[in-house]
Amino acid sequence: MTEKGKQGEGKTALITGATSGIGREFARVLAQRGYRLILVGRRHGRLEEIKESVSVPVRIITADLSQESQCRQLLHDLDDEQIDLFINDAGFGDCGRFVRTSLDKDVSMIHVNIIAMHILFKGILKKMTARGTHGSGQILNVASAAGLMPGGPFMATYYATKAYVTSLTRAVSVELREMHSHVHVSALCPGPVNTEFNEHADVVFALKGISAQQCVREAMAGLAAHRLIIVPSFTMKIAMAGQRLLPACLTVHLAGMQQKRKMG
């Protein structure tokens, strides 16, 4: 086994949203590092494909995380598991004028991006902090660069859900430090990533996206450094640093211009 493989030997990683994109790439990389995997997603067939493609033990749990009852059931199903790394990745977006986008899709997005994320974050965090004197483990909440912005016209609901993720992660990180906990939490905030996300969101990226491989590679480096906010790619790091220097109203206007271009 390689040195990278040894890093996760004897450890278990839980990944939601594992059927495609960033979640699927995390599964590939963590398997290479020797982690046993617990994969959660709606599409059982895709989870089976991942299981067959890796050489580590894989447990599959099929769940629709837009349903609160299934989120709670998932925590119950994980009662006897020791989770060392949790990739809280399930989520999706939508693009369009707020008055014209589907209310049902908005509500489903809120259920997945906020409620499911919150339930699983809290549930797995409680398991980790209860372990030993100060607990142990890592949690990566997958947010977005959108979550670092004051707002995003034409993707208003999505931006708001991801702001919730970054805000919650930051606050919990402070609480854990005050507890002298050995559990570390981070938020992954990528810009455009070339995955199935844009198909589900009905968008064409206005900016060139990075690969899921690059996104996960930089995320893993951020986790190793216990970085709180992880922004993959030099370009997005500069963009996020620059937007903090602008008035919020101008930042929102510029974000709206970019999002409007996605509508084709």
Q: Domain with 77 in it: what CATH number?
A: 3.40.50.720
Domain of 183 in residue numbering reads as: 3-262
The 12-16 sheet, strands edge to edge: 58-62, 36-41, 12-16, 85-88, 137-142, 183-188, 229-230
Confidence tier at 240 by pLDDT (50, 70, 90): confident
Structure tokens at 55: 């050489």
For the chain, give the mean pLDDT: 90
Q: What is residue 5's predicted lDDT score, i.e. its pLDDT?
A: 43
Pairing mode, if any, of strands 183-188 and 229-230?
parallel
Q: 């906020």: which residue's tokens?
A: 114
Q: How many structural domains are present in the chain?
A: 1
Q: Of 208-212, 223-227, 240-244, where does mean pLDDT reach its minimum?
A: 240-244
Calculate mean pLDDT across residues 52-79.
97
What's the pLDDT tens digit per position in 95-134?
999 999 999 999 999 999 999 999 999 999 999 999 888 8
In angstroms, the Cα distances linking 165 to 147, 208, 213 are: 7, 24, 22
